[in-house]
Homo-oligomer: A and B are copies of this chain.
Amino acid sequence: MIHNFKKLRVVGMFLTCLFSLGILGTTASAQIDLAALAEVDPDYADMIAAHVEQGVDYAFDFFTVSMLWTVIAAAMVFLMHLGFATLETGLTQQKNAVNVLFKNVFIISIGIVSYAVIGFNTHYPGGPDDWNGWIGFGGWIGDLNADPENVTYAYGGLELAMTAYGDFIFQAMFAATGATIVSGAVAERIKLPSFMIFATVFVALAYPIIGSWHWGEGWLNRLEVPFYDFAGSSVVHAFGGFGALACVMILGPRAGKYLAGGKIRPIPAHSFPLATIGVFLLAFGWFGFNGGSVLSAEPAALGLVFTTTALAASSGALSSIFFSWAVIKKPDLSMALNGVLAGLVGITAGADAVGPGAAILIGFIAGAIVVFSILFFDKIKIDDPVGAISVHGVCGIWGTVAVGIFNSEVSLFSQIIGTISVSIAAFAAAFVIFYIIKLTIGVRVSADEEAEGLDLSEHGEEAYADFQMKTR
């Protein structure tokens, strides 16, 4: 097929003029003129004909635009992984930068491949009658376009305005997020192979199984008033945050972080520009994360979701700036950045289900929570270099509960049940996986390696090997 002369995939409404009775006069009725289409593009006409035979009368253009949005949103969510990579790298020490970047390249890669191999079909095991609502293992996706039903709007009996591949790729971009959240929390002292094994199991099995309780029509959807988590405050973010908590508890704090006498030594970020790039890219991608979760290009929902997402992020930042300034007496950039993310995590569960006023309030409360949560975890010696447990875990719970508060059709009780179940399950899964790894190959680098930095000890590379500077 020639690139620029490729058959045009035009379909749809070819107008055929017909004269009705003289009484009625001339009128043009729209229909898919399959004969005319077949001349232009026989393959396409066949596909449409097959659909029509199956009784699929669908609005092709709405389906097309919704599918386009799905794949664009998938690309935006992909960019969030660069956001995570730069945020984590920026907030940690220079001597571990290569290691953090390497982990992030690995996570998104194994995430996408494993989601094709097992994750997707485990995440969505079928309709409510097909499985027990707790675990329904699935396998390799196969060539989804081979089945013509998979390129119609309601593929697989689902009423989705996307093809099966569209569904897959959008969800695949989400899958690695859980492991990425953990990556930040365990940075600077974890053994690389141990993390790689953990991430693989966590993303390939724990994420789709626990996620299926809600998105796969599992038991959380069978509550009297179903659990509501629009784009994943719980099933993505709290999942990652409480998985991170389990790993940090097993791993212990970085050397020299908590000194004798309860003194906390701050370990400074090595590059705030890098961290800021990360947060802005995450916010940009979040418009795809939440916006794409509309699962179509329905205008009313899209406008609302973009607005609530932007307002919550903004108000989260303002709130974190305010509260951190009040508490630690200075305008702290890392708190402002965490405030943006806190607002985003907070609005994720209800971005389509609350109005702009509630969005500002949800973001504002999330921005306050994250400041105090970060200080709290530091006080109890849970060493989380990037604040992932607070941002994703604690604010993920808040966001889920908030939908129950601000939307009267959602049950606060179901929300609490759901978010606590998901958080506990993520914690337990991470604990078990990580503990087994600890017992076998170990999870922590030696004190010498930690002091030298993982870049040299694990990778034999430095992040800025050639950087040569004038001295002050």
Asked if A467 contacts B466 (CB within 8 A), the reply is no
* Bound-complex Cα distance A14 to B286 (A): 34
Q: From B41, B101, B304, B466, give the contact of A333 (CB < 8 A).
A: B101
Asked if A59 contacts B94 (CB within 8 A), the reply is no
Asked if A300 contacts B151 (CB within 8 A), the reply is yes
Question: Does chain B have a CB within 8 A of A250?
Answer: no
Indicate whether A270 sits within 8 Å of B333 (C-beta atoms), given known contacts A32-B15, A112-B311. Answer: no
Question: Does chain B have a CB within 8 A of A301?
Answer: yes
Which A residues from 175 to 222 make CB contacts under 8 A with B?
192, 214-217, 221
Taking residues whose C-beta sits less than 8 angstroms from the other chain, chain A's interface range is 35 or more
Contacts of A65 in B (CB 8 A): 61, 64-65, 68, 297
Q: From B86, B313, B340, B469, give the contact of A273 (CB < 8 A).
A: B86
Asked if B277 contacts A82 (CB within 8 A), the reply is yes
Name the 6 nearest CB pairs between A and B, nearest first.
A165-B303, A12-B59, A8-B159, A268-B465, A82-B280, A30-B30
Asked if B270 contacts A336 (CB within 8 A), the reply is no
Indicate whether A460 sits within 8 Å of B333 (C-beta atoms), given known contacts A113-B315, A215-B2. Answer: no
Asked if B60 contacts A217 (CB within 8 A), the reply is no
* Bound-complex Cα distance A298 to B166 (A): 12
Which one, A238-246, A354-362, A391-399, A424-432, is touching chain B? A354-362
Asked if A333 contacts B464 (CB within 8 A), the reply is no
Q: From B29, B44, B280, B333, give the contact of A461 (CB < 8 A).
A: B333
Question: Does chain B have a CB within 8 A of A421?
Answer: no
